[in-house]
Amino acid sequence: MKYREIVPTGYLTNFIQSFWEYETSDKDFEHTIIPDGYFDLIAEFQNGTLILVKLTGVWTKPVNVSIPKSTKIFAVRFKLLAAEYLFQHEIRSILNTTQNLALNYWNIDQYQSDDFEKFSTDISNRLDNCIKHLKEIDKRKLKLFEIVYSKHLPSVNELACEAFWNSRQINRYFNSRFGFSLKAFLNIVRCNASYKNIAKGNLFPDDNFFDQSHFIKEIRKHTGSTPGELSKNQNVRFLQLTIKS
Tell me the DSSP string of 73-95.
EEEEEE-THHHHHTS-S--GGGT
Summarised one tens digit per residue, pLDDT across range 208-231 is 788 899 899 999 999 999 999 999
The amino acid occupying position 211 is: D
pLDDT at residue 211 in the model: 85
75-79, 106-110, 179-183, 235-239: lowest mean pLDDT where?
235-239
| Number of C-beta neighbours around residue 168 at 10 A | 9
* Selected residue with higher pLDDT from 135 and 31: 31
Interval 175-192 mean pLDDT? 94
Beta bridge partners of 72: 23, 45
Could you tell me the domains of the chain? Answer: 2-132 (2.60.120), 139-244 (1.10.10.60)
